[in-house]
């Protein structure tokens, strides 16, 4: 069964002082897989960047999600990509059962 993947950047941290202030130093992201039956699995990750490439530096205001996703995806290859996809596949395979918030057995009955 085929899985369709969707990536998203969920948060960024930037350098606040010095040269290249505003440079992205940390990304938080998600990769969601959806199978043909609509079952979904999501992996949440964080990717740090130790230094800005001054030759191809892009000002923070000029960044797009596609640019930042390209940075993350360039790092998430090989064994790590297999790890991420494996976690997504496991969630899909488990066919997550709906749950409810249960009242604690020791809690007083609602009035």
Chain segment 11-61, per-residue pLDDT in tens: 999 988 877 778 899 999 999 999 998 999 999 999 998 766 666 778 888
Residue 103 belongs to a domain: no
How many whole angstroms separate alpha carbon 68 and alpha carbon 82? 21
Residue 67 belongs to a domain: yes
What phi, psi does 106 have (nearest 5°)?
A: -95, -5
Query: What's the structural domain count of the chain?
Result: 1
pLDDT at 90 over 70: yes
- Domain housing 19: 3-93
What phi, psi does 38 have (nearest 5°)?
A: 90, 5
Residue 32 belongs to a domain: yes
What's the pLDDT band for 101 if we cut at 50, 70, 90? confident
């Amino acid at each position: 069964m085929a899985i369709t993947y969707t990536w998203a950047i969920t948060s960024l941290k930037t350098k606040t002082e010095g040269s290249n202030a505003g440079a992205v130093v940390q990304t938080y992201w998600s990769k969601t897989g959806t199978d043909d039956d609509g079952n979904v699995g999501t992996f949440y990750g964080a990717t740090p960047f130790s230094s800005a490439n001054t030759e191809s530096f892009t000002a923070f205001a000029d960044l797009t999600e596609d640019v930042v996703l390209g940075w993350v995806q360039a790092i998430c290859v090989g064994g790590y990509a297999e790890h991420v996809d494996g976690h997504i596949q496991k969630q899909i395979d488990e066919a997550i059962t709906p749950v409810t918030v249960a009242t604690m057995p020791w809690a007083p009955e609602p009035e």
